[in-house]
Amino acid sequence: MDLGLKGRTALVVAASKGMGKACAMGLCAEGARVVMCARGEADLKTAADDVRAKTGGETLAVQADANKPDDIARVGASSPSSRARSSSPSKGSSSRTASVRPSRVSSRPSPTRSRRMASP
């Protein structure tokens, strides 16, 4: 199945094991350039090498803690799409940029979700 990801850049956090690694594998198999990040550098590099070997795709491993704003900024600055934008801007080209603002995750459901969950 073609998901239209060829040449796009995807960011996967917690990518050194389990679901994160599986997501990176699937995205890379679809042709996306995958930026993988995790807190443990050794496991992350091993995972990135494994994804690259199995898919033949492009991966970039960046050690980072997604809960630390400085780490997230470093991941964004090192991604292939940000390097391409900063090194060769071309007139008339369009690019999408995302800004990441770390936030606290609440364990309480929103009032709207609470009402939906309570409805039969």
> Three-state SS for 34?
strand
Residue 51 lies in a domain: yes
pLDDT score of 85: 46
Task: Evaluate whether residue 15 is within a structural domain.
Answer: yes
pLDDT score of 82: 59
Please check whether residue 29 lies inside any domain of the structure. yes
Q: Which residue has the higher pLDDT, 98 or 60?
A: 60
Domain-embedded: residue 61: yes
48 inside domain: yes
Confirm whether 100 is domain-assigned.
Answer: no
Where in the sequence is the domain holding 71, given as residue range(s)?
A: 1-87
- Residues 70, 41: Cα–Cα separation, whole Å: 17
Q: Which of 21-25, 32-36, 42-46, 78-82 has the lowest mean pLDDT?
A: 78-82
Confidence at residue 44, expressed as pLDDT on a 0 to 100 scale: 97
Give me the amino acid identity at 115: R
Name the domain count of the chain: 1
Task: Report the CATH number that the domain containing residue 82 is assigned in CATH.
Answer: 3.40.50.720
**67-111 pLDDT, tens digit each:** 999 998 998 888 766 554 444 333 333 333 333 344 444 445 555
Residue 8: partners with Cβ closer than 8 Å, 6 or more residues away: 31, 32, 33
